[in-house]
Amino acid sequence: MGRGTEPSPGEKAAEASRGVLSQQGSGSVNEALARGLRTRIVKDVAAAEAAMMRLSQSTARTKCAPTTRKGIRRLFKEQTQILSRLLLAPPADLLGGRYGVWLCWHTFDEEDRIGHEAGDLGVIAHVADMESGLAMAYALPSRLRPHLIDRTFQRLGTTDPAAVLAELRHVALLGVVLGIVMAHQVGADADATAPGTFPLMLPTPSGAILGDAILEAPYVCLNTYIGGRRPITPSKERLRTALADELSTVAISHMETILRGYFVGMLSQQASGRLEVMRDQALKDCFALMRRISVILDRYRCSLLSKEEREDGIKRNELYWKWATLQHQAQQVPA
C-alpha cells in the first residue's frame, strides 16, 4: 500500500485480525485438546438451553401475558436475560411493539431433517408474540461440523471457547441467510432435478470458513477453518480478501435485523399487511446478500476446487488443446 493510500476494508480486517491474534495465547492446541474444548462448548450450550427451558417454564407458570406496553417490554428484557448465555447477537428492540426474536446457539441431540447430527452445533431462532404468549422455535439450516470447531481452536491457538464462538458467529448467521435463500429456491423449483452441492468460503475476523451448500436438503454445512496462525494459500487469500471487502458493510446487527423480520413473518403466517410486507422485504434482503456472495465465489471459483478437480481440469484443457492442434494440422494438409 503506497503512502497516502486509504486501506481497503479487507486490509483493515486483516490488520484487525492480527490484533486479535496478538491478544490470544501463543501455545499450540493439539487435536485431543481441541476435541475436549469443543465437547465443553457443546455441553455448556446444552446446559444453558436446559436452564433456559426450566426458567422459561417457571416464568410462564407464575406470570400471564402482559396487557400493557410497559409489561410487554419488561417481559422482553426478562426473556433476553434468560437467553443471554446463548445469544449470537444482542436482540434489537421489539418489532411492532410486541414481537421478540432471539438468535441463539443450539446443540442437536439427534439427526433431523435439515442435516444436523448428534453433537452438532447450530443456530436456533426463538420467536415470541409477547401479547398473546405464542412462542415458536425454528432450528435453522446452518450446521457447524465438529471438525470446524476443533480446527478453529487449533488455528487460533487459543483454549478460550468464547474466542472461538466470537470468531464463528458472523459466518453462522451468514449460513442461516444462505440456507433461507436455498430453501425458497428449492420450494420455487420443486419440479427441478436436485442441483447437488457447491463449495463456498465465508470470511471470519482472523481467517475463513470452508463449507458446502447442500442445495437439495437445503442447508449450509460449515466444514473447516483456515487461517489464524497458519498462512492461507495465495489463491484462497485473494478470495478471502474479496469476500471481506464485499461484506465489510454487513454487520451482525444488520443480519439480525433481516432475520428478525423474516421470522416474525413466519410466526404470523396468517397475518397480512405490515408483517407480510416486512417478511417479504427480509426475504429480498436475504436474496440480495446471497447474490453479492455468489458473484465473488463465481469469480474465484477455481480457488475452491480440490487438487483432484484442478488436475482434472488441466488434463481436459490439455486434451482440448491437442485436439485443436491436430484439427489445425489436418486443415493445413493439401488435398
For 192-214, write each residue's pLDDT tens digit.
Answer: 554 578 889 999 999 999 998 88
Residue 166, amino acid: A
Q: What is the pLDDT of residue 320?
A: 55
Where are the chain's structural domains? 12-306
332/335 Cα distance (integer angstroms): 9
| Dist. CA 285–CA 69, nearest whole Å | 30
Q: What is the pLDDT of residues 88-123, one digit of tens each?
A: 988 888 888 888 899 999 988 655 545 556 678 889
Residues 9 and 244: beta-carbon distance below 8 Å: yes
Instruction: Please say if the pLDDT value at position 11 is more than 70.
Output: no
Q: Average pLDDT, whole number, for the chain? A: 78
For residues 113-142, one letter each, b for 16 or more C-beta atoms within 10 angstroms of the residue's C-beta and e for the rest, the string is ebbbeeebbbbbbbbbbbbeeeeeebbbbb
- Quickly tell me which residue has 482440448 as its cell: 320
Residue 324 Cα distances to 311, 320, 329, 334, angstroms: 20, 6, 9, 18
Average pLDDT over residues 315-329: 58
Q: For the segment 214-230, what is each residue's pLDDT rounded down to a tens digit?
A: 877 778 889 999 998 88
Classify residue 107 by its DSSP letter: E
pLDDT digits (tens, 9 = 90+) for 142-197: 889 999 999 999 999 999 999 999 999 999 999 999 888 888 876 555 555 545 78
Handedness of CA 78, 79, 85, 90 (dihedral sign): negative
Place of cell 458472523: 170
Q: Could you tell me the pTM of the whole model? A: 0.77
